[in-house]
Amino acid sequence: MQTEKSTYRTIKSISEGVYKEKGSKFIAYAVACYAEEEAKKHLDSWRKLHYQSRHVCYAYRFGLDQKVFRANDDGEPMNSAGAPILGQIQSNDLTNVLIGVVRYFGGTKLGVGGLVQAYKSAAKDAILNGEIIELEVFEWVQITFDYSAMPAVMNILKKHQLVMKEPLFEAECSLMCNFTLQKKESIKQEFLGIASVKLTSLGVY
């Protein structure tokens, strides 16, 4: 039986890198990212910021098993942009990360080899300028409960110092929180010991 991974490597906060070649400028952004929809929002913001650029190429990789990934050349010759960006993610053993590289064309064609070097170098610079961190993996859970159960739920959250996200306190309350993999089963049993509490797993990340 395969042991469940308890940590992963990603970028702490958004970082930038730059590479220049024959008048072309390549601006790279590296950011922690967990899903395709989140990646689209980052890419849209970079396209709006750099609306005069020719290309916004990118690569991402998600998940503990690192099996969800994509590389996109955004109009550059096939495998000349997305693949070398993804290569930098792989060589640094990163996951839950997105790297986008904006290109401003300088008037001189670089050729496929030149493009590969440029996109690789820009992505590498963004990673080097950032901070790689190793994060503990959690199971994220949606907790729903009646308003009357709130004190008991809050006591468990405080006892285990759990992170609470997206709280909604109405007649039926809900919130998201994270359980460490080592303690998740025992903490779940504590919550399920409270009347009206329901737990829905949102995934491990």
Domain with residue 67: its CATH number is: 3.30.230.30
> Does 1 fall in a domain?
no
Q: What is the dihedral of CA 135, 141, 147, 150, to 10 degrees?
A: -40
> Does 149 fall in a domain?
yes
pLDDT above 70: residue 141 = yes
- Do both 50 and 86 map to the same domain? yes
> Does 104 fall in a domain?
yes
To the question of pTM greater than 0.95 for the whole model, the response is: no
pLDDT above 80: residue 192 = yes
| Predicted confidence band of residue 4 (pLDDT cuts 50, 70, 90) | low
- Do both 64 and 148 map to the same domain? no
Which residues 6+ apart lie within 8 Å of 52 measured at CB?
Answer: 104
Closest among 89, 69, 181, 100 to 135, alpha carbons compared = 181
| CA-derived radius of gyration, the chain | 21
- Do both 99 and 146 map to the same domain? no
User: What is the residue range of 196's domain?
Assistant: 138-204
